Amino acid sequence: MKQTALVTGAASGLGFELAMLLAQDGYDLFLVDVDIQGLEKAKKEIETQFSSEVKLIAKDLSTCNVAPEIFEAIEDVPIDVLINNAGFGIFGSFQDTDWKREAEMLNLHVVTTTHLTKLVLKGMVARGKGKILNMSSLAAFQPGPLMSLYYASKAYILSFSEAIANELKDSGVTVTVLCPGQTKTCFQDVVSNGIGKSSSENKISFNIACPKAVAKYGYEAMQKGKIVAIPGNINKLLSKLPRFVSRRTATAVIRRIQEKNRAH
């Protein structure tokens, strides 16, 4: 019997690469994204290469109460793998950034991710099997001036994922949280400074990972049931920065990096 996976933010970047890996392993797919043209392109590419059945769900995951709409759209199909990948960032001083956009980001990273996990998890536990992969970030390990809410929301995803992974021990369901560093995706295209400008290119090009490699690392970690997955030795080291210096110093370092990275 074929297994089925649900992937959010699947039109491009890591979400698309993870969907490709699932299709390669024979999963049927529900792909969710606000970008319907990107979804249709992803579906065509996947179905050209693999035998997976691909169904598309065009939804804005940053809106309120979208998780039940997605869950209703899967038509009671048992979900064997859930990948909560969708996300975006906002750059700028907290006092200057746009609250409406920040609220949408928090709703996506915190509320939609949590609610969709809760809805899908019940069936997984009842069946005694399932895998969940939540997308956090290297940002989860320390405060991030000039991207304060993004860093905080990714810290939430890390903490939430680790906690429920512990709760689900011996249930047959595993939870993995992927914490990549800088990755060459379209993420940068939607990192706004809150006043109408965008930063589509990192000024610091050191340690930028390939999305295919990051997706493969996270996918393999999920299949093995690993809880926290940090791709790259440099990123593993950076995740431990607050252990070796004060949090105040670590925060100052992150601010300096952000200022250099987004300089116009």
- What amino acid positions are annotated as catalytic residues? 150
Question: Would you give the distance in Å from CA 155 to the centre of its chain?
Answer: 12
- SS3 label, residue 97: coil
Buried b (16+ CB within 10 A) or exposed e, 6-36: bbbbbbbbbbbbbbbbbbeeebbbbbbbbbe
Quick one: tokens of 213? 């490699």
Question: Would you give the distance in Å from CA 55 to the centre of its chain?
Answer: 20
